[in-house]
Amino acid sequence: MGCCKSTQYGCCIAIDHDESIILNKPTGKEIRHGPGWFCFPSWWDAEVFKTIVLQNNQYIVVKHIVDTNNNDGTRQTNDIPLTKRTTLNEKDQLLNDSDMHLIEIVRGPQIYHIKNPYDRISEVKPMINLTPTQYIIVMDKLTGEKKVESGPQLFCPKPYDEIGEIKNMYNLSSTEYIIVTDESTGEKCTVTGKNDKYQ
């Protein structure tokens, strides 16, 4: 990236092919991608971002933001609220949840260029590497539905997944058993060693 060269009216910045510049103008933000020189008035703010290189075991979370005008003419950015369903039934009434917002998971391998100047991008996160004897419990925050993800696999969460701790499967011998309680119903069942591994 080149440094800012002052002109009579402002500044010029050179950016490389793997960079983008976000210009914060009085009328809102604008994004431009390199390579090239970009000139702008000195009363605009400018920030340069590198493209994000994601390996095949990495991902980022992109939180989408909307830009709005206030009554006094000023601008403010707001999280885009997520409209959710309480169940999987499409006939259910849609409910707004102020704690959840429109997010996207971008997984590697790829080179990611920021597209919306208002988006908030997380740091690069590693996917979860589950061995053949490990598992995690994943809850969909939209529906409350839980599922088990077993290894071996490289697990990448979906946008509204809540991930539990990595746990080890039970390795039962032929003379061992465990009693399992279903937390949703209270029902109990016995799992014997013939199942080999139990999660």
Please say if the pLDDT value at position 57 is more than 80. yes
CA distance 100 to 44: 32
What is the model's pLDDT at position 97? 47
3-class secondary structure per residue, 10-37: EEEEEECCCEEEEEEECCEEEEEECCEE
Q: Note whether 55 and 24 are same-domain residues.
A: no
Q: Note whether 134 and 115 are same-domain residues.
A: yes
Closest by Cα among 110, 4, 117, 127 to 62: 117
Please say if the pLDDT value at position 66 is more than 70. no
Q: Note whether 1 and 96 are same-domain residues.
A: no
Answering whether pTM is above 0.75, one says no
Residue where a domain terminates, one of 34, 50, 66? 50
Q: Note whether 56 and 149 are same-domain residues.
A: yes
What is the model's pLDDT at position 86? 45
Q: Note whether 65 and 148 are same-domain residues.
A: yes
| Residue 176 domain boundaries | 169-198
Q: Note whether 133 and 45 are same-domain residues.
A: no
Q: How many CB atoms lie within 10 A of CB 15?
A: 21
Q: Note whether 70 and 86 are same-domain residues.
A: yes
Please say if the pLDDT value at position 165 is more than 90. yes
Q: Note whether 89 and 131 are same-domain residues.
A: yes
Q: In the chain, how many domains are there?
A: 3
Q: Cα-Cα-Cα-Cα dihedral of 92, 96, 100, 101, to 10°?
A: 100
What is the model's pLDDT at position 95? 46
Task: Identify the band that residue 176 occupies on the pLDDT scale cut at 50, 70 and 90.
Answer: confident
Percent of the chain with pLDDT over 90: 35
Q: Note whether 62 and 1 are same-domain residues.
A: no
Task: Identify the band that residue 8 occupies on the pLDDT scale cut at 50, 70 and 90.
Answer: low
